[in-house]
Amino acid sequence: MIEWLQIAVEPHLRERYVEVEGAVWTAALQQYKAFVAKEVWFDPQDPAELIVWIRWTSREEWKSISPAHLSDIERRFAEQMGPGWHVARSYEYLPVRQYIGKNK
């Protein structure tokens, strides 16, 4: 499954956001077996937007990560990053082949 985040960031902070995000979030998430990969993308037409997509083995395993641990990671990230950014949108995408017909 994919977790998709649209990040609004002040353009002059974009590189710092990517740097801190990798040092804090990527480093922390890599310890979980549910974590598969993560990429950060930018729109060359919009310097105030970043897209972060995270691939997880399954929604169930992703959601089994301790909320307290996620809060701690978020706190460390916010302390290191400071103001000038926010999550504008957040989505979850599930693979069709695994889930189609499950709710019939």
CA nearest to 9, candidates 53, 63, 46: 46
Spans of the chain below 50 pLDDT = none
pLDDT at 101: 62
Architecture of the 2-90 domain: 2-Layer Sandwich (3.30)
Q: What are phi and psi of 33, to 5 degrees?
A: -65, -20
Angstrom distance (rounded) from CA 31 to CA 15? 24
Q: pTM for this one?
A: 0.88
